[in-house]
Structure 1
């Protein structure tokens, strides 16, 4: 009988460079600053998790995650790693919110549990290989010429859809999309993300109507997240389908948006929901309400994105994937994990558990705290 009691928890800071700054309407990201959790059980099983905190979206940083992890880790020592719901309850009792760092613990626990079950994580979550996962590729916010050139390059590389960061003035954003359409043609799938940048319902609707001729699949988070009561009006009047991102953090947010009839699509991220345990609740709610679901992420490495990919295989209701940020790194710290194939195809590992780990060469020199029992 395996002994799945949590024996040790290690917390690491992971810094990695990007090929170029990644810019959204909320500001630029110049460097990857993630936290990695490694959990070991008494029987020698090891699970990995990762989070990518985002100051302007989930209100967490690498430093807050590192500190909060040191509240959570001692409380989980001695807990049965297979009791994920119990571990999530423990973390939620200790501190409110902080879903980014909680997601890293959650992923590591799921890694252990799936390994113990002898199943790849997607199968442990109830999924199967019944679809091919493909990722879009994101055009960062910037000058029109640069955005057009990036979009053309991504089309040439075979990505099946292109996502464009917007969220400035109507004139600037329309000019960007017009130029991109001139570059990639009228039919290549194109998605947009304002990251709350148009602020109000009236401002958002003005831009959305101006962009209507450009054949846009959907628009993420057009207005300020605190104005979610106005999102239903935006969705009803918009010629472009609306996807909630920042307003859809956890299952409680999802239930609220469904009750309000606020939108037709959700973007699920493990760093917003608190991990796989609670993300699956969003999936169930969305599926029952016929919401179109996307799984995305922040700036996770291939480790965190591997967890997201397993989630994407767990339900037929998940139609879109936004797994491109590891492609923006200059270095790859992950052993195993998802592989990026031609034409945006994402191959998910079939080994038991998550199927991904951080290379010891990176962890050996990382700032670290360890808790043991």
Structure 2
């Protein structure tokens, strides 16, 4: 099986409401979609949602990278040879993980379709039967975040991820307000997205949060401050998760050596796709560090890819892949697999996602074909 053609689409995915985190406010999500077609007529879909604050890639640079650099070298390659494909891409460009993820995901999708199996079968088979769906609360006023959490409780959600990271003491008020509203039994995870900057600010907050029963605190300090994470972890009982600070195997090696985190958040856009994500999960498993699969708020394509990784690995204990339920319009149909409060994957080959190309055309800003 050889790759005959690659189409690249720049799309704007419309959000139901703006997505607000410590360093950005997103009115929509800019995504790069890849459609890979083989000589035998099979189609694989991939996606890239870059983040210039984390991977150093923008939507514009990612589109150009795939169109001008990655797609031309992929023509004629066998999409089933994952190791060889990543080696080829790495030799062409040293990093660009989000751009590589789009190619990687499309290759896994088309390979699963060729073999007639879901992607998770290519990764070792299904381990988990279902995962709880976590609702993500964007940064807002304490009472507004508490109101939204209460509303989502009524819809069946049993866990929340709070976005904070604007001001330490204001963030403490936000967290306390949500905990008071939802009660002690509901899971709350707090994601600072580097917003507390350093260990001193973080420890100031944690002194007021110790008794709130938080599941974990995620990336409170700058992504490069691994030593800061070590200090925080040594001085609190609240489990610490690294997200932005984990992009590749070198980062994971340092995290393991320094015991810098209780948990790590693996994202396909940070590491280069499904194949590198599995390598990170294996490294974490050897070190006894629990994993989560998160996202950059991708469409059904990128979200499904993350789910296939998560469902195949015992060491992956949670998922935060909420894109399909945050969009007012999506190019795929994964949303139907969100049966709140759980997500359950279907048994269709490849990613198991059907693409509505009329919606894709409607949301596309520009496109190109490489043969």
| Superposed pair shares fold, TM > 0.5 | yes
Aligned equivalents of 1:6, 1:320: Cα separation in 2: 34
Does residue 280 (structure 1) correspond to residue 278 (structure 2)? The answer is yes
Using the size of structure 2 for normalisation, the TM-score is 0.96
Q: CA deviation at 1:336?
A: 5.5
- Determine the structure 2 residue equivalent to 1:142: 140
**8 Å Cα contact 1:306-1:338 kept in structure 2:** no
DSSP 3-state at the match of 1:107: helix
Number of residue pairs matched?
368
Alignment of 1:1-373 (within 5 A): 4-70=1-67, 71-335=69-333, 339-343=337-341, 345-365=342-362, 366=364, 367-372=366-371
Is the partner of 1:109 in helix, strand or coil? Answer: helix
Distance 2:98 2:149 in 1: 30
Aligned with 1:55: secondary structure?
coil
Deviation, structure 1 residue 353: 1.0
Query: TM-score w.r.t. structure 1 length?
Result: 0.95
Is contact 1:136-1:163 (8 Å) kept? Answer: yes
For residues 197 and 130 of structure 1, the distance between their equivalents in structure 2, rounded to whole angstroms, comes to 33
For residues 39 and 110 of structure 1, what CA distance do their matches in structure 2 show? 11
Q: Quick check: 2:166–2:195 contact (8 Å CA) kept in 1?
A: yes
> Contact 1:333/1:358 (CA < 8 Å) preserved in 2?
yes
- Runs ≥4 in structure 1, deviation > 3 angstroms? 335-338
Q: Write the deviation string for residues 312-363 of structure 1: whole angstroms up to 9, x where unpaired.
A: 11111110110123211111221467611132x1121211111114311033
Query: CA–CA distance in 2 between the matches of 1:361 and 1:131?
Result: 32
Q: CA separation of 1:202/1:342 partners in 2, compared to 1, >3 Å: closer, same or farther? A: same
Aligned to 2:314, the other structure's residue is in SS state coil
CA distance in 2, matches of 1:217, 1:128: 25
Check the 8 A contact 1:208/1:239 in 2, yes or no.
no
Deviation at 1:25, TM superposition (A): 0.7
Shift of residue 309, structure 1, vs aligned partner: 0.7
Contact 1:35 1:65 in 2 (8 A): yes
Aligned mates of 2:108, 2:250 — CA distance in 1: 22
SS in 1 for 2:157: coil
User: What SS does the aligned partner of 1:246 have?
Assistant: coil
Q: Distance in 2 between matches of 1:169 and 1:14?
A: 33
Residues 121/35 of structure 1: CA separation in 2 closer, same or farther (3 Å cut): same
CA RMSD in angstroms comes to: 1.4
